[in-house]
Amino acid sequence: MKKILLFCYTVAALQGFSSCSSNQPKEDYSWLKNAIDTSVQQLEETVADVGDSVLLPRAIWTGYDMDFLCNQLQRDPSTFKDSLRVKPIKASIGSRRYCGSIYDWTSGFFPGNLWYAYQLTGKENLKASAAKFTNYLYPVRKYTGTHDIGFMMNCSYGNANRLAPADSIQSILVQTADNLCDRFNPNIGCIRSWDFGKWNFPVIIDNMMNLDLLFYVNHLTNNPKYKDIALKHAETTLKNHFREDYSSYHVVSYKNDGNVELKCTHQGKNDDSSWARGQAWGVYGYTSCYRESKDTLFLQQAKNIANMIMKCVKTDDAIPLWDYDAPDMPETPRDASAASITASALIELSTLIEDGQVYLDYAEKLLKSLSSDAYLAKVGTNQGFILMHSVGSLPNGSEIDTPINYADYYYLEALIRYMQVKGLDYKSL
């Protein structure tokens, strides 16, 4: 009799627990489904619009006003030279801007966007389009003129190999990684970023993002040289790029003996300011370095940069101004690209440490802001781009308050990482 009563009590308790559990409100992911559906429709319409032309969408053409630039940079108009800026033709303002060639540093992002959209939804038409636009970049495997071959080929062929692997793709990635390694100077301990400008050996904080190509090829080949070069570059950059508050210079140029020649900016407000996208590149890059090395030096740097970003943001929706030191006024542009990169980085960072919830929560806030009507474009608008309100290079009058393909890329990547952390798939939304 006691056994029967015990059984009845157990059943009743389980039924009560089940009833309580079923009454728990289910988390609302309608914002996430809308974000994915909108992104896919925008990409599909862009593919149809481009057709068979060998064109890679980059942004929307924007112009600039000199008074506005001087106000944002807080410089005297009488001493501010406009000779380096090329204004777009008036007729092109508001139209879609394409990469100037397949060697444009942003050329890999649109194919990457299609690969990510395919990963999110499993739609075969997106896979076919991704392969088509990726193949346009085949000649880039021989290109040696910039560190950005990491962006160009890892975002396109790297995602292709993850989602549709082939031996031919692997050989392309290895060849590109070898070209990137050839830009490494062991005396300096860094990969050279640019081959233009006034600098002797320029290294920009953006270069931290191109290390992922080397990490990926290290896994493909089991050849330690790729990882070794990447981590050495990260160590040197950590030593010389960062200030006491963990904000980063944009450009550090080195002398041939490895000593620092100059610390400055090319895209930030001024040499000592904290250019928003640069800080995002940093936290993303050092998160990747910790993932690959398990060196706590890199982990601490990633956390330090993340904390600096969260402390410095001045906006209610957490989407940063284009530079953290830009004038805090309504007309100052925000940078959705910096927010997207940061969100993706912080989601990954949250998975690598025990106390990562604070970073996941902040990334979720960024994603919900980016997925709101304030930043997520309506289907059929925005020249087919997903996000609005990014800034490319304000001091150079380029891509100010406009959609940009890499903002879309890291936004989609962040959505994927968020869904993985939450255990979600598209069909369940």
Q: What is the pLDDT of residue 191?
A: 98
Q: In this predicted model, what pLDDT tens digit does every residue of 274-326 receive, in sequence order?
A: 999 999 999 999 999 999 999 999 999 999 999 999 999 989 999 999 999 99
Question: In angstroms, how far is CA 381 from the centroid of its own chain?
Answer: 23
Lowest mean pLDDT among 161-165, 372-376, 395-399: 395-399
With cut-offs at 50, 70 and 90, classify the pLDDT of residue 87: confident
Amino acid at 318: A
Q: Which of 52, 148, 257, 355 is catalytic?
A: 148
In three-state secondary structure terms, 365 is: helix
Structural domains counted in the chain: 1
Tell me, yes or no, if 317 is annotated catalytic. Answer: no
Q: Is residue 31 part of a domain?
A: no
User: What is the spatial distance between Cα 394 and Cα 400, in angstroms, rounded to a whole number?
Assistant: 6
Q: What angle do CA 314, 317, 321 make, to 5 degrees?
A: 45
Lowest mean pLDDT among 72-86, 94-108, 117-131: 72-86
* Strand partners of residue 253: 202, 262
Query: For the chain, what percent of residues have pLDDT higher than 90?
Result: 87
Could you give the C-alpha distances from 177 to 135, 173, 262, 281, in angstroms and in order?
A: 18, 6, 28, 19
User: What is the spatial distance between Cα 92 and Cα 80, in angstroms, rounded to a whole number?
Assistant: 26
Structure tokens, 385 = 């781009």
User: What is the spatial distance between Cα 145 and Cα 322, in angstroms, rounded to a whole number?
Assistant: 28
Q: Which of 206, 212, 335, 401 is catalytic?
A: 206
Q: Is the model more confident about 82 or about 325? A: 325
Owning domain of residue 267: 36-428
Please provide the average confidence, as pLDDT, over all residues in the chain.
Answer: 93
**Residue 351 burial (10 A CB sphere; 0-12, 13-18, 19+):** middle
Amino acid at 192: R
Q: In this predicted model, what pLDDT tens digit does every residue of 166-197 receive, in sequence order?
A: 999 999 999 999 999 999 999 999 999 999 99
Could you give the C-alpha distances from 32 to 73, 147, 407, 421, in angstroms and in order?
A: 36, 34, 17, 14
Give the CATH number for residue 177. 1.50.10.10
Q: What is the pLDDT of residue 65?
A: 87
Structure tokens, 373 = 């009507």
Closest CA to 291 of 302, 305, 304, 280: 302
Amino acid at 376: L
User: What is the spatial distance between Cα 363 and Cα 345, in angstroms, rounded to a whole number?
Assistant: 8
Closest CA to 409 of 103, 124, 98, 155: 155
Examine the pLDDT at 393 and tell me if it is beyond 60.
yes
Q: Is residue 7 part of a domain?
A: no
With cut-offs at 50, 70 and 90, classify the pLDDT of residue 109: very high
Q: Is residue 22 part of a domain?
A: no
User: What is the spatial distance between Cα 262 and Cα 243, in angstroms, rounded to a whole number?
Assistant: 14
Question: In angstroms, how far is CA 55 from the centroid of its own chain?
Answer: 21
Q: What angle do CA 70, 391, 135 make, to 5 degrees?
A: 140
Structure tokens, 156 = 């396109």
Q: Is residue 62 part of a domain?
A: yes
Q: What is the pLDDT of residue 136?
A: 98
Q: Is residue 27 part of a domain?
A: no
* pLDDT mean over 199-210: 98
Examine the pLDDT at 247 and tell me if it is beyond 60.
yes
Q: What is the pLDDT of residue 83?
A: 56
Q: What is the pLDDT of residue 59?
A: 98
Q: What is the pLDDT of residue 3?
A: 38
Q: In this predicted model, what pLDDT tens digit does every residue of 6-55 receive, in sequence order?
A: 334 333 333 443 444 445 568 899 999 999 999 999 999 999 999 999 99
* Strand partners of residue 334: 321
Examine the pLDDT at 118 and tell me if it is beyond 90.
yes
Residues in CB range of 230: below 8 A, 6 or more apart:
211, 214, 215, 218, 289, 292
Query: For the chain, what percent of residues have pLDDT higher than 70?
Result: 93
Amino acid at 264: C
Tell me, yes or no, if 373 is annotated catalytic. Answer: no
